[in-house]
């Protein structure tokens, strides 16, 4: 079966009657062509832009063949339905089939283009379907050959770019054989809780007992009361924890992965004999597409195991398949089913730990937990000590759409429900961390392991009339927990009140394990008096910024914040300054910047901020 543009319908009356077989062949051809074009445009666009789209970041590493397979399946099922109609409408089914295939093909390709409204995609796809139905015909092969040729050329270009990029990446990432790790060096375990703010933990004085296990475990760790993340969202914060660099040193963004300019903690430890593994629940910004997998021997960063691919995962790789899965599962249930909860992350790590055949080597493991990230929905069967499930569709929408809702669109009771649900998620996460420590103790791994427990950023839950994160540099979004469990539990129960930054994690790890070298800037937090340097936090959103005062502060342009000398200083994109007393005003409700008495403090903060945001080349 071939498809051509019909210039003279009367010249081919036989095309007016289509058989079920010809309709099925038409559907399979369009499915293959659409899938090839869709996969090709993903590869070509990412290669040209040099960035990563969120859509691409959620696709399996096998997307090159899974997208065509998904489309062939969807178009094939459509062909079966249309083929059955061919028995009832033999004279009309040819045009109906052509129009349907044209519509589906256009919709599939348009849905992958960022920034297009759904209505616009539907309108253009409908026009394409109508055009093909009016002027196309089943018969000779001109259009069929053109479609196959276009898809073949696109596939060749895409596969070439894909494989060439993989070859270059392999050459860039190639590292010398690791040196044997010193037998006395401890293991390293980095636990990062996504979206966990310090002020909502009973460990830090919260009036709800959200973290009884952390409260208990803290007696064996050094607790830092004024730790700050380097950014209020995931990618730059993790990038700093991996490289020891400030946000302004790292060219990362929502579409920009971590580059290869600076070594990562996994690379350095791996090159010195450590077995390295990462187990990721935030499959958006912590996956391999964004450069955080560099240096890890094993990196589990996708919802399903890459060796056990399901029909659902295959469908989700294509735009039409994703719509089909969402339609079948429903938005609310679909969110919960797609989350990798803490129990699953723990199980994957412990399984890797038990399977290791190189137990004479120390390990570096990175565990990323996503349970406290919106939407705040604890796993099925989890306790809800502080809240309840949504009672109606409106409450469910407020929870599910939390990340995309403005504070003004939420009612007070909806914000209260979100806070309760967030606390329930924290309680579940705390429970799972307690279980992880118990499992490690049973395996005899605790005393010889450096464990760092922290969060990449916090969350605004109505604070300063904001919701979510990446919106501001207030402490609700950047003040994070930090516990360091030193080997043999040295300095257990100690509390550090000075401000510290998460960017010092790499330097801390190297000092504790006794690895000498200037691999990372920063200072070790394992010393007896850390916190000599101020804690810097930045947000540098380069795309879509606006000075519209109705937008969150971080969306109006680059911002910086500094915590030092008992004060928190914030410089907004428009130059406006804010100053808060850290001890007396933890909620940051009383801005001291307008007071004449604050002028000397502001001047010191300005000078220190200028020094810290300058290039650190001299430290390399």
Three-class HEC string of 266-292: HHHHHHCCCEEEEEECCCCCCCHHHCC
Question: At 536, phi and psi to the nearest 5?
Answer: -105, 135
Is 131 inside any structural domain?
A: yes
When comparing pLDDT for 394 and 1, which is higher? 394
Residue 357 lies in a domain: yes
d(CA 305, CA 317) in angstroms, rounded, equals: 15
Q: Which of 460, 480, 461, 481 is nearest to 554 (CA)?
A: 460
Does one domain contain both 260 and 392? yes
Please, is 458 exposed, middle or buried when counting C-beta atoms within 10 Å of its C-beta (0-12, 13-18, 19+)?
buried
216 and 147 both lie in a single domain: no
* Per-residue confidence (pLDDT) for residue 576, from 0 to 100: 95
Element (H, E) at 216: helix 212-217
Within a domain: 79: yes
List the CATH number of the domain containing 492.
Answer: 3.40.720.10
Does the pLDDT value for residue 282 go beyond 80? yes
Higher pLDDT, 541 or 25: 25
Q: Looking at per-residue confidence, does 236 or 407 come out higher?
A: 236
Give the residue-averaged pLDDT of 443-455: 96
Top mean pLDDT of 54-68, 368-382, 428-442, 543-557 is at: 428-442
pTM: 0.81
Residue 419 clears pLDDT 70, i.e. is over it:
yes
Separation between Cα atoms, residue 479 and residue 355, nearest integer Å: 37
Same domain for 119 and 216? no
Q: What percent of the chain has pLDDT over 70?
A: 80
My answer on whether 144 and 241 are in the same domain is no
Q: Is 317 helix (H, G, I), strand (E, B) or coil?
A: coil
- 66 and 102 in a single domain? The answer is yes
Query: CA 598 to CA 588: how far, in whole Å?
Result: 15
95-104, 305-314, 430-439: which has the minimum mean pLDDT?
A: 305-314
The verdict on 195 and 289 lying in the same domain is yes
pLDDT at 461 over 90: yes
* End-to-end CA, the chain: 65
479 forms beta bridges with 228
Question: How many angstroms separate the CA atoms of 315 and 441, rounded?
Answer: 41
pLDDT of residue 18: 64
For residue 10, the model assigns a pLDDT of 45
Please give the DSSP secondary-structure letter assigned to residue 348. Answer: H
Using the 3D structure, point to which of 477, 497, 530 is the last residue of a domain. 530
Give the single-character DSSP code of 15.
G
Binned at pLDDT 50, 70 and 90, residue 119 comes out as: confident
DSSP tag of 469? S
- pLDDT of the residue at 338: 67
Q: In whole angstroms, what is the distance from residue 6 CA to residue 2 CA? A: 12
Report residue 52's pLDDT band, with 50, 70 and 90 as the boundaries.
low
3-state secondary structure of 480: strand
Examine residue 384 and state whether it is found in any structural domain, yes or no: yes
Residue 224 lies in a domain: yes
Section 265-290 average pLDDT:
94
How would you label 151-184 residue by residue, b for 16+ Cβ within 10 Å and e otherwise? Answer: beebbeebeebbeeeeeeeeeeeeeeebeebeee
* One domain for residues 124 and 164: yes
Residue 373 φ/ψ, nearest 5 degrees: -80, 145
Same domain for 163 and 263?
no
Q: What mean pLDDT is predicted for residues 341-346? A: 96
Query: Which residue in this structure is represented by tokens 């936090």?
Result: 537
Closest CA to 564 of 533, 591, 586: 533
Residue 373 contacts by C-beta under 8 Å, 6 or more apart in sequence? Answer: 194, 195, 282
- pLDDT tens digits along 431-446: 999 999 999 999 999 9
pLDDT of residue 539: 83
Rounded distance between C-alpha atoms, residue 418 and residue 189, angstroms: 31
**Cα–Cα nearest to 75, from 41, 127, 37:** 37
Identify the CA nearest to 437 among candidates 504, 490, 483, 472: 483
End-of-domain residue from the set 144, 172, 200: 172
The CB density around residue 228, as the number of other CB atoms within 10 Å, is: 28
Q: How do strand 363-369 and strand 275-280 relate by DSSP bridges?
A: parallel
Give the integer Cα–Cα distance in Å for 106 and 133.
Answer: 13
Q: Decide which of 29 and 224 is more confident.
A: 224
Distance from C-alpha of 90 to C-alpha of 61, rounded to nearest angstrom: 42
CA count, 13 A, side-chain hemisphere, 116? 17
- Of 514, 530, 546, which one is at a domain's C-terminal end? 530
pLDDT for 312: 74
Q: Work out how many domains the chain is built from and give that number.
A: 2
Q: Which two tokens stand for residue 125?
A: 């796809």
Residues above pLDDT 90, as percent of the chain: 48
Q: Residue 499: give the domain boundaries.
A: 188-303+338-530
Same domain, 106 and 144: yes
CA angle 515, 520, 522 (to 5 degrees): 110
Q: What is the pLDDT of residues 598-616, one digit of tens each?
A: 999 999 999 999 999 885 5
What is the average per-residue pLDDT within 60-64?
Answer: 72
Q: Which of 50-54, 233-237, 323-327, 392-396 has the lowest mean pLDDT?
A: 50-54
- Note the pLDDT of residue 390: 86
The pair of structure tokens assigned to 459 is 């969350």
pLDDT (tens digit per residue) in 129-176: 888 887 765 554 565 666 667 667 666 665 665 555 554 444 444 455
Q: What backbone phi and psi angles, to 5 degrees, belong to 168?
A: -60, -40
pLDDT band for 258, please (50, 70, 90 cuts): very high
**Residue 194 — very low, low, confident or very high, per pLDDT cuts 50/70/90?**
very high
> Residue 527: phi, psi to the nearest 5?
-70, 170
Residue 227 lies in a domain: yes
Name the nearest CA neighbour of 269 among 202, 188, 176, 161.
188
- CB–CB of 243/504 below 8 Å? no
C-alpha distance from residue 531 to each of 42, 87, 109, 496, 524 (Å): 45, 78, 52, 8, 9
| Residue among 457, 460, 464 at smallest CA distance from 501 | 457
pLDDT computed for residue 445 by the predictor: 95
224's enclosing H/E stretch is strand 222-228
Residue 575 belongs to a domain: no
Measured between alpha carbons, how far is 198 from 282 in angstroms, rounded to an integer?
Answer: 20
Closest among 279, 278, 423, 400 to 342, alpha carbons compared? 279
Statement to judge: residues 364 and 244 lie in one domain: yes
Q: Is residue 83 domain-shared with residue 134, that is, in the same domain?
A: yes
Q: Over the stretch 31-41, which tens digit does the pLDDT of each residue have?
A: 888 888 888 87
Which of helix, strand or coil describes residue 578? Answer: strand
Residue 603 lies in a domain: no
Q: Please say if the pLDDT value at position 514 is more than 60.
A: yes
Residues 214 and 89 grouped into a single domain: no
How many CB atoms are located within 10 Å of the residue 30 CB?
Answer: 27
Whole-number pLDDT of residue 525:
94
């Amino acid at each position: 079966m071939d498809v051509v543009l019909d210039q003279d319908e009367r010249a081919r009356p036989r095309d007016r009657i289509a058989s079920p077989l010809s309709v099925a062949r038409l559907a399979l051809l369009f499915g293959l062509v659409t899938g090839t074009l869709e996969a090709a445009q993903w590869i070509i666009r990412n290669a040209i832009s040099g960035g990563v789209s969120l859509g691409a970041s959620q696709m399996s590493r096998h997307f090159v063949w899974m997208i065509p397979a998904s489309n062939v399946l969807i178009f094939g099922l459509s062909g079966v339905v249309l083929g059955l109609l061919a028995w009832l409408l033999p004279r009309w089914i040819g045009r109906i089939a052509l129009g349907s295939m044209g519509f589906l093909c256009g919709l599939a390709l348009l849905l992958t283009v960022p920034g297009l409204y759904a209505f616009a995609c539907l309108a253009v796809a409908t026009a394409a379907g109508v055009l093909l139905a009016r002027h196309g015909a089943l018969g000779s092969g001109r259009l069929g050959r053109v479609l196959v040729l276009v898809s073949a050329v696109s596939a060749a270009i895409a596969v070439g770019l894909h494989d060439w990029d993989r070859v270059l990446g392999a050459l860039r990432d190639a590292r010398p054989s690791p040196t044997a790790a010193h037998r006395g060096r401890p293991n390293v375990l980095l636990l990062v809780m996504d979206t966990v703010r310090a002020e909502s933990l009973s460990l830090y004085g919260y009036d709800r007992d959200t973290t009884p296990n952390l409260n208990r475990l803290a007696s064996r760790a050094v607790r830092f009361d004024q730790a700050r993340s380097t950014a209020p969202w995931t990618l730059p914060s993790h990038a700093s924890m991996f490289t020891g660099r400030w946000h302004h040193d790292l060219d990362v963004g929502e579409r920009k992965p971590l580059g290869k300019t600076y070594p990562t903690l996994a690379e350095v430890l791996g090159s010195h004999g450590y077995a390295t593994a990462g187990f990721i629940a935030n499959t958006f910004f912590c996956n391999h597409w964004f450069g955080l997998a560099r240096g890890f021997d094993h990196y589990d960063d996708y919802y399903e195991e890459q060796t056990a691919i399901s029909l659902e995962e295959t469908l989700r790789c294509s735009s039409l398949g994703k719509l089909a899965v969402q339609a079948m599962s429903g938005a609310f249930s679909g969110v919960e089913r797609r989350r990798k909860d803490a129990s699953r992350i723990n199980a994957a790590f412990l399984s890797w730990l038990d399977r290791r055949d190189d137990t004479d080597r120390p390990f570096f493991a990175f565990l990323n937990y996503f349970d406290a990230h919106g939407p705040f929905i604890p796993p099925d069967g989890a306790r809800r000590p502080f809240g309840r499930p949504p009672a109606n569709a409106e409450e469910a929408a407020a929870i599910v759409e939390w990340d995309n809702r403005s504070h003004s669109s939420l009612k007070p009771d909806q914000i209260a429900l979100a806070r309760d649900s967030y606390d329930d998620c924290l309680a579940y996460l705390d429970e799972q961390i307690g279980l992880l420590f118990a499992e490690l103790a049973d395996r005899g791994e605790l005393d010889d392991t450096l464990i760092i427990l922290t969060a990449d950023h916090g969350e605004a839950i109505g604070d300063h009339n904001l919701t979510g994160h990446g919106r501001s540099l207030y402490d609700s979004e950047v003040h994070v927990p930090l516990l360091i469990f030193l080997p043999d539990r040295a300095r257990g129960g100690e509390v550090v009140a000075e401000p510290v930054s998460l960017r010092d994690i790499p330097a801390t790890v190297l000092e504790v394990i006794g690895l000498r070298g200037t691999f990372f800037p920063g200072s070790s937090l394992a010393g007896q008096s850390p916190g000599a340097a101020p804690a810097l936090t930045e947000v540098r959103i380069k795309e879509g910024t606006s000075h519209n005062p109705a937008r969150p502060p971080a969306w109006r342009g680059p911002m910086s914040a500094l915590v030092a000398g008992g004060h928190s200083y914030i410089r907004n994109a428009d130059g406006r300054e804010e100053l808060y007393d850290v001890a007396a005003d933890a909620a940051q409700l009383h801005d001291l910047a307008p007071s004449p008495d604050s002028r000397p403090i502001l001047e010191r903060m300005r000078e220190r901020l200028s020094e810290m945001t300058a290039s650190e080349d001299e430290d390399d």
